[in-house]
Structure 1
Amino acid sequence: MTFDRGTEFARYPRLASALNIVSYFCQPSAPWQKGSVENTNGRIRRFLPFDTDISAISDRHLQSMVDRLNETPRKCLEYRTPRDVLSEQLGAAAHSIQATSR
């Protein structure tokens, strides 16, 4: 998993450990190192142009956009949806945690 350099990823070691994934931070000003993020940003821009004031959009409308993005099958996920893949990963992580706590 490739992380941006924002403070929202300060606890990435915990996430990487729980999901059993390899992760690293992109170098500054190197968007090609985070292709998935840039692809997702492009998808979001279909709904929200760059200059959109998000505070003017209802939570319900934002949630409908999030749902549509998460329920769209992706070639890179073997035509599974991001929601399906995340559910699989979380289930596997939960199973792993349960197994190690016994």
Structure 2
Amino acid sequence: LARMADATATSAVNGFSAALNRMPAELKKSLTYDQGREMSRHAEITQKTGTTIYFCDPHSPWQRGSNENINGLIRQYLPKGTDLSGYTQEQLDAIAYELNIRPRQRFNYRCPIEVITDVVLSEQKMLGSIQ
């Protein structure tokens, strides 16, 4: 979760870039987004982060199924229409942490943070064996 000043393209570039640049490269290979105007400067995000950005077709939320699921989980903490300007990045990070330690059926009841750790360690191990 990245705190943004507003829903402008400039805020999206700054917010997504800051959030993605805190992540290991193995976890930020691609991002699928809807057709929102705030992503009109998506090429800048790719340039700043190395993340490839894909767009789903208009009115096709099923093309981002796992994203729609996480949106529902986020709504348990931040109901739709919540003014996020009253939240600090630290508070949003705490919500993200709670979501990342919550077991998911999709991961055979493992927590996302466990799966993420496995992916990063596996990639690092594979890179180490290549070098």
TM-score (norm 1): 0.73
Structure 1: tracts of 5 or more residues without a match: 14-23
Given that residues 3 and 9 in structure 1 are in contact (C-alpha distance below 8 angstroms), is that contact kept between their aligned partners in structure 2? no
Structure 1 runs of 4+ aligned residues shifted over 3 Å read none
1:4 pairs, out of 16, 33, 38, with 33
- Kindly state the Cα deviation for residue 82 of structure 1 after the two structures are TM-superposed: 0.4
- Determine if the alignment matches structure 1 residue 82 to structure 2 residue 112: yes
Distance 2:56 2:83 in 1: 27
More helix by share: 1
Structure 1 partner of 2:123: 93
Structure 2: tracts of 5 or more residues without a match: 1-29
- Where do residues 27-42 of structure 1 align in structure 2 (5 Å cutoff)? 27-42=57-72
Distance 2:69 2:75 in 1: 10
Q: State the number of aligned residues.
A: 92
TM-score (norm 2): 0.59
SS at match of 1:27: coil
Q: How high is the sequence identity, in percent, across the aligned residues?
A: 33
Which range moved further: 68-77 or 27-36?
27-36
Indicate the RMSD between aligned Cα atoms, in angstroms: 2.5
